[in-house]
Amino acid sequence: MALMNWSKDLEVNFPKVDDQHRSLVDIVNNLHDAMKLGKGRDEVGKVLHFLADYTTSHFKAEEELMTRHAYPEFSTHKQIHTELLKQVGDLVKQFDGGQAVLTLKVMSFLQEWLTKHIKVEDLKMASFLRTRVA
Ligand SMILES: [Fe+2]
Ligand SMILES: [Fe+2]
């Protein structure tokens, strides 16, 4: 069973951002599956690196939109992104260093983080962007 289900309440109604969030949810689910199905280290590592890269480019895309449209809460939002990227970066480092860091606890952390961030900060950002991009 998938860890996360995409549902309407995760939509922020800004298509480019919603598409990327859908992909993020897919990748988190793929990572969860790879772990649960006991896939080898290589396979799990590949998905983990892909998740880290995708998260980096997704945050960059949001930050570009916020900058371009002079979003007043840009620095707070960016700060939150930076903190998660640091945590994910640490996770990757630990994993690459041979530690078994991908526990179910980490997966639920990622799931909860993503859900909360989308429903709070990204929703706020998207509401603002919609007023700018008609
Ligand atoms: Fe986002
Ligand atoms: Fe965001």
CA 100 – ligand 1 centroid, Å: 27
Residue 88 lies in a domain: yes
104: which residues sit within 8 A by CB, 6+ positions away? 35
**Measuring CA to CA, how many Å separate 47 from each of 19, 29, 33, 64?**
19, 10, 10, 25
Ligand nearest to the CA of 11: 1
Ligand nearest to the CA of 79: 2
CA 95 – ligand 2 centroid, Å: 25
Residue 96 lies in a domain: yes
CA gap 130, 107 in Å, rounded: 32
CA 57 – ligand 1 centroid, Å: 10
pLDDT tens digits, 95-128: 999 887 778 888 989 999 999 999 999 999 999 9
Residue 63 lies in a domain: yes
CA gap 114, 108 in Å, rounded: 10
CA 88 – ligand 1 centroid, Å: 15
CA 123 – ligand 2 centroid, Å: 9
Note the pLDDT of residue 58.
98
Residue 2 lies in a domain: no
pLDDT tens digits, 10-44: 999 999 999 999 999 999 999 999 988 888 889 99
- Which domain covers residue 38, as residue numbers? 14-132
Number of compact structural domains in the chain:
1
Calculate mean pLDDT across residues 64-82. 98
Helix and strand numbers, DSSP H then E, in the chain: 5, 0
Q: Residue 95 belongs to a domain with what CATH number?
A: 1.20.120.50
pTM of the entire predicted model: 0.93
Ligand nearest to the CA of 115: 1
Residue 6 lies in a domain: no
27: which residues sit within 8 A by CB, 6+ positions away? 47, 50, 51, 54
Residue 54 lies in a domain: yes
Give which of 120, 5, 124 is closest to 71, Cα–Cα. 124
Note the pLDDT of residue 134.
64
Give which of 26, 38, 75, 81 is closest to 57, Cα–Cα. 81
Residue 102 lies in a domain: yes
Residue 117 lies in a domain: yes
